[in-house]
Chains A and B, each alone.
Chain A
Amino acid sequence: MSSYELRDWVTIGLFGALWGVVETTLGSYLNVIFPSFTNTFFKGVILAGIGVAIALTGRFFVQKRGSLVLIGVITALLKLLSPAGAKIGPVVAIFMESVIMELVVSLAGDPRRWTFVLGGALAVAWNFPHKFLMMGLMYGRNVAQVYRTLVENGSQMLGLDASFALVILAVLLGVRLIVGGISGWSAWALGGAVARRLGQRTQAVPE
């Protein structure tokens, strides 16, 4: 942390705030459009896609290990302090997304466009296991049994092969990966465009 300078901390705060604004304002609108228990897929994909793009743009300007996690921590804390109150699900999701992005970008060495695309794709894809993990945590091990039997019974009831359920799950995962990839790509492009406009300040590797 000692390698972080004043400007880095301010930039981390700024991008954490940007992500926080999206989570609190757009999140509230989406809650109205897609109420909970009816559709969490679109809400999750939209919020994660935008959030991931903001965090990765922040990484473009703070080329230091751990900066994505720090942006995620700030956003999670803002979410905790928001009037909507403390909710476990979104806080865990934001933190995990930032950890996944950080792992991908840091392991790849110098930030490049493909690391942003991969990091973004995997981070948004986290929404997929997140729902199962949180339901498992909240409801205990019985919920896994519920999911499995629901799929089996549902496929029997509709006269469909159980493998169709796998196809549907694969499509849902694929959509998340694509949206995340686009977010990562956009973050790289946005970072470049802003850096050009400001005429400076990034050590990102030019393509």
Chain B
Amino acid sequence: MKRFSALGYLLFTVWGVALALIGRGWQLAALVILEFAFGLAWSREGLRPLRRLRFWTFIAIALALGPFLTPTSGLALDRPSFDWSGLSVGLEMAARALSLTLAFSLGLSALSLSDLVALFDRLHLPGLGFALGVAMNLLKSLESMARVTFETIKLRGGLRRPLVALRLFLVTLVTNTLRYGDQIVDVAAMRAFDPNSDRFSDPEAIGRSRPADAGLVLGLLLSGVLLLALG
């Protein structure tokens, strides 16, 4: 059970991205700590990027640039400055990258498909939520459709002429996809589904704010003001 509503997690992402873009120095360090604490408490799944070597390589590059950077003279490849000024510039770059990544992953990774569909319904865009549902549920079918098409062309010796095979593959795949779409349209129409009508969605029931959201908004506001005051 999630602690906050979809809107709450989205708000967290907006808050984190905004502060990461305007923050400097210690503000960024404090922001990273706050985001990490939020992740530990309410969005552990969002801390997944921290387990990837690639992510830390990305951060290490920013840190490694530090000794070559000085705030006054810019980049100095021939005479790296191993002092605090250069290191602080590198640290700031690494902290900004880290805080932006966390803001994005902690907020958005907490959202499920149904959260997003409910959010679109609430924003009076039920069609977009419907299209997202169609897309998400078709991913596997499309993959297998592509595999079957490719195997068929291969078995019939189509790969001897690669360009013709590619054309055949694409035309067949898109045609089959659109035919599949016709079936979805028929099924939805039979159920009298109209994506442009709010009749099928109840904004009061879906994507509803939770009591904890008020606390989150207050917490984000307070910590935002405190962070800005740090500068």
Contact = CB atoms under 8 A, between A and B. Distances in A.
Interface of A: 1-2, 4-7, 9-18, 20-21, 24-25, 36-37, 57, 61, 70, 73-74, 77-78, 80-81, 85-88, 137-140, 142-143, 145-146, 149-150, 153, 190, 193-194, 197-198
A85 B49 contact: yes
Interface of B: 21, 46, 48-49, 54, 57-58, 61-62, 65, 69, 74-75, 77-78, 89, 92-93, 96-97, 100-101, 104-105, 108-109, 111-113, 116, 125, 127-128, 130-136, 138-139, 142-143, 146, 167, 170-171, 173-175, 177-181, 184-185, 188-189, 193-196
Given A78-B139, A137-B21, A150-B75, A4 B175 contact: no
Contact of A86 (B77, B109, B128, B136): B109
A57 B173 CA distance: 12
A75 to B, nearest CB: 8
Contact of A197 (B65, B116, B171): B171
A73 B119 CA distance: 14
Given A73-B128, A145-B74, A153-B77, A7 B181 contact: yes
A20 B135 contact: yes
B138 A153 contact: no
A88 B127 contact: no
A172 B108 CA distance: 33
A138 B96 contact: yes
B12 to A, nearest CB: 12
B175 A9 contact: no
